[in-house]
Amino acid sequence: MPDPFDFLIVGGGSAGCVVARVLADRGWRIGLIEPGPDQPASKVPADYLRAFRSAEDWDFETEPQPALAGRRIRQPRGRGLGGSTRINAMIWYPPRDVDLRRLARHGGTHWSAADLRASLTEVTTWVSPESPRWLSEASSRFLKVARPAIEPPHAYHRMSDRSGRRTAAELLTGCDRIRRITGSVDRVLFAEGTESPGLAPAGAERSTRATGVWLRPDALDSPHVVSANRGVILCSGSLGSPCILIRSGIGPRDVLQTCGIRPRLLLEAVGRNLIDHLIMPCIFELPESARFAPRPTPRDLARWQVSGSGPLSSNLAEVGAIYPLVVDDNPKIRRPRQTDTVGQTAETAIQVHVTPTHYLLHPDSRAPAAMTIGVNLCQPRSRGRVWPVSVDSTAAPSIDPGYLTSPEDLTELVAAVGVARELASSPPLASWVCGESLPGVRRDSTAATERAIRRYAQTLYHPVGTCRMSALGDGVVDPDCRVKGTHNLWVIDAAVLGDIPSVNPNATIMMLAHLAATRLAV
């Protein structure tokens, strides 16, 4: 497949792999740029934990978070073909109706719920998610808890099958019109030439027609130009795509000035509106006989190899549910929430993830036998930002999610901890749980629970929103996912979501990528 390509796709994660397949199936020549290791990702679901801080992880961290006791929060991001599907928990949770309505409102008539569902059906067929083949006792008991829920307890569907297929890269199998290019993209290049953004003559009108990218290869080759006939599509995620735009001269004026980049196109929303799910682990002690074995037995290995079942098939986040958040004695919770960015009332609900381990930063095999009920707000209000710190694509960005900058988020997360405690004290968990380790029985007041949240809450690894779509003039991309003010530069990934999905976002991102690419392929 000779250069130039028809389209260059920058980023080979969930969105990038879907976009590449759709365009290749329509006959376009695709260059898919993704750095990182060439070896396949591990087929064992829980091995995502071993991938953290490895060659498969960009291993970012946030700026110190004032509302989280000044902590820097790790931000694992997948590196290599498949992106963060190489290192995630393989949860497949289709978007709920409320998520489809919000996306349709951001995109206007271009994004109808019917079209979104059709794309969701298509990518679900490609992925073929299946229910877990094995559940721990903690998960099995949780599924029997009788508590009113918006969506009752259920076993998460996972993007895996008997052979252990786990990454979005599997979607590219057999697509001979896609060429993998290993490396990182410093910036997008435009029609006036390949000069550095700072070298254009003062006052010159700057082109907005993308012609390719400036590639920094993984190998020892020198940085060089890779060209595209029809355009460039950024699929580098909410932490990557806005940084590429800014390094290309597209972004807020003050950020461009700080980085020493001559503006090509001023878009103040680039890098802003960063949203993430913040999860608070509530850890409950169990009988020692219920301990989740940290190392597989020969029998466990045999079950995994023969039938893809047993403890090795666990992703450690086996079950969950969505609960309403209404607390009778707390008027702050009962008060209707503020409207979101498309004028809808934000949903007051929480999502629960259950793991059969003592799970804080990672499962602690040295701790007493435990189960963890993690709680997060489905639609937090807090917003942050992400910006590059230099024109070098290998430099880690400055990430500030602004966790708990909205006071309501902390108030509601305290109430969510109360829901976790209620679940643990409900049959059939009540007769089995031996005690509460975190927040701990002595942290039962509002103030003590707030302090525990500030000290122990962690990311759920769901950053979205930094190149948000808007049919009006204040977003980064239009309803076609084209960067506003450009001719042929698109962002198609989690960054374009104006609001965070109320559930694990991978299925939503792949659905969005499919519909956007289908329209682009025409």
What is the model's pLDDT at position 327?
53
Torsion over CA: 465, 459, 117, 172 (sign): positive
Between CA 118 and CA 399 the distance in angstroms is 35
Burial of 174: CB neighbours in 10 Å, binned 0-12, 13-18, 19+: exposed
- Provide the CATH number for the domain around residue 337: 3.30.560.10
252 lies in a domain? no
Range of the domain at 147: 5-175+274-520
What is the model's pLDDT at position 162?
52
What is the model's pLDDT at position 163?
54
148 lies in a domain? yes
327 lies in a domain? yes
Burial of 509: CB neighbours in 10 Å, binned 0-12, 13-18, 19+: buried
81 lies in a domain? yes
264 lies in a domain? no
Pairing verdict, β 458-459 and 489-491: unpaired
61 lies in a domain? yes
What is the model's pLDDT at position 104?
87
Domains of the chain: total: 1
What is the model's pLDDT at position 339?
40
Phi and psi torsions of 400, nearest 5°: -135, 90
474 lies in a domain? yes
66 prior amide bond cis, ω within 30? no
Q: For the packed helices 14-25 and 506-520, what is the interaxial angle rounded to 10 degrees? A: 30
What is the model's pLDDT at position 22?
97
Would you give per-residue pLDDT tens digits along the chain (522 residues)? 456 799 999 999 999 999 999 999 999 999 999 998 777 777 788 888 888 888 888 999 999 999 999 999 999 999 999 999 888 988 999 999 999 999 988 888 889 999 999 999 999 999 989 888 899 999 999 999 978 888 888 888 776 655 556 778 888 877 889 999 999 999 999 997 544 444 343 444 578 999 999 999 877 678 899 999 999 999 999 999 999 999 999 999 999 999 999 999 999 999 999 999 999 999 999 999 999 887 889 999 999 888 888 998 899 999 999 999 875 555 444 333 444 444 444 468 999 999 999 998 888 888 899 999 999 999 999 999 999 998 888 899 999 999 999 999 999 999 999 999 999 999 999 999 999 999 999 998 999 999 999 999 999 999 999 999 998 778 999 999 999 999 999 999 999 999 999 999 999 999 999 999 999 998
H or E element that contains 242: helix 237-247
Q: What is the pTM of this model?
A: 0.93
Strand partners, 91: 158
What is the model's pLDDT at position 24?
96
Contact between 312 and 300 (Cβ < 8 Å): yes
